[in-house]
Chains A and B, each alone.
Chain A
């Protein structure tokens, strides 16, 4: 160490806060994590694999086979991003959301950086909210990669044409892309619940793997419960029930009511889970 130690006070850093600073910081951390690129690459691979598999298949999937819209991909590349989203929404996208959010607090605790962050004058609530926003924007980028990749590979393999809705009407390519983007946003709203749930477990655990496993187990248990008719009464109250309501964008006119109800359920669940996470995190003893 140089004797320059005595100069430590010569340049007093400005103490004022910066509104976008925390978000930029979280994104910097995200971009310096290999897991981020693995998840994005995985999401981008789905439309490529979907388009390639259908292109190479001797007989394309028939109506009702596989995820929604899959049978239509061979007719029109515009359906590639939709089929990809349909394939992702039940499990892979929730898994990506859980992987991102479960790391947010528990991963930092595990690494030991949580304590060095919390020695800075940050509000725990603001920090948690920033991490929630970061996980959501991370998924938004992933979903946009799926949409862009779907349109790219679908267009290359099958060409892009006006889409036929579930009601049988035709919409232009531009309108179709708009509906695809709305579907992606709907998926993002659905994933807000998964992010909040994983974030909640992340505040409870000191290991991101524990938080991840706990969230996945809970999600699988919910899915399992609502699959039994005995628990039909439970279905309207749990968010996975509404994950496939994006199909209402493809009716003419768009069925906004079920979409609105689904988004409301997602919002309520996400807000409730994030509030619980905040209540736990603000009193959490950071000992790791």
Chain B
């Protein structure tokens, strides 16, 4: 799992109970140095609780985390010397400027030069608002300032809790590019996100959790449905569907929006060969867009019937509304 790289963040049987609620249940996780690690899970899966546990904001009921070789919560202070980041929405002192906020937060770790503050403000795209009061900042600007403060002491591990939340498309693109750059420069990034395509775009490894338990973890490239589907467009879609059914079975073929969808898995070349052999002019063969990590994520986390029930009920209500 680690490809021989040293782990920088691990959890060992990490559990947290809030009264009767078991928010995190024996979580074992491993993030290696240099990883851009995606942390996925539906709402209420326990993602933020795990981040709080890892960063020592809350105390585990059982188990522990190890961050940069230091046990948390026991050696929380030593561990946090190597970590930057934020949990939930980053919040700052509203009457102070962005620069003063960074100076103040930086002084908690040690002296931070003005040059470094200018540098992180530039990285975060806030150089022109450095001396403006944070109270007047938009949500997206506060997110950017959160990233700036996370980078302030050039940590080995950066923990970001939904960093693109509230950003416009341009801002999202910038943040993702920054995360990729951080990864390339050797900084480990732990990225909690609801945006599955974001994790696909920037992360090399990921974990999916639900109800505080690990569903799956590993390389992002492995976190896809095994029966990968492709959308096929030919000069005769009816004949193409018949050919595909004869090759892959009726259950592997469907039709949608003028396309023939074929769960061909790794046998896409075989599918194309058969279509051509049947005299069809193949115009395009593209991956079905809903067959990425998102599909896999939903498939894994919706296995619980209790989760499927509200969706079914919603469908019934909508159908009832339409009939009326």
**Residues of A with Cβ closer than 8 Å to B?**
1-18, 21-22, 24-25, 28-29, 32-34, 111-113, 115-123, 283, 285-287
Contact = CB atoms under 8 A, between A and B. Distances in A.
Residue from the set A25, A111, A116, A286 with the largest chain B CB neighbour count within 10 Å: A116
Contacts of A112: 88-89, 91
Nearest to B171: A1
Contact of A122 (B58, B108, B146): B108
B85 A119 contact: yes
Nearest to B152: A13
Given A2-B125, A5-B182, A6-B184, A120 B87 contact: no
B93 A32 contact: yes
B149 to A, nearest CB: 7
Contacts of A17: 110
Given A11-B113, A13-B152, A32-B96, A119 B106 contact: no
A8 B93 contact: no
A11 B116 contact: yes
Contact of A117 (B83, B105, B153): B105
Interface residues of B, number: 63
Interface string B72-88: 00001110110111111
B203 interface: no
A286 B76 CA distance: 14
Contact of A25 (B87, B108, B122): B108
B93 A113 contact: yes
B143 to A, nearest CB: 11
23 contacts: A1-B147, A6-B185, A8-B120, A9-B154, A11-B119, A12-B153, A13-B116, A18-B107, A18-B110, A21-B107, A21-B108, A29-B93, A32-B93, A33-B95, A112-B89, A113-B93, A115-B91, A116-B90, A118-B56, A119-B83, A119-B85, A120-B108, A285-B52
A186 to B, nearest CB: 34
Contact of B119 (A1, A4, A16): A4
B55 interface: yes
B125 A12 contact: no
A106 to B, nearest CB: 15
A-B pairs with the 9 shortest C-beta distances?
A112-B91, A1-B174, A285-B58, A120-B108, A121-B80, A5-B181, A5-B178, A13-B153, A286-B57
A122 B109 CA distance: 8
Nearest to A12: B154
A6 B120 CA distance: 11
A116 B105 contact: yes
B52 A286 contact: yes
Interface string B9-31: 00000000000000000000000
Contacts of A16: 110-111
B233 interface: no
Contact of B87 (A1, A6, A111, A115): A115
Nearest to A14: B110
A268 to B, nearest CB: 30
Given A1-B144, A5-B178, A123-B77, A113 B109 contact: no
B111 A14 contact: yes
B57 A119 contact: yes
B135 to A, nearest CB: 10
A6 B115 CA distance: 16
Contact of B109 (A10, A13, A287): A13
Contacts of A33: 95
A28 B81 CA distance: 23
A222 to B, nearest CB: 32
Contacts of B58: 285-287
Contacts of B59: 283, 285
Nearest to A2: B122
Contacts of B151: 8
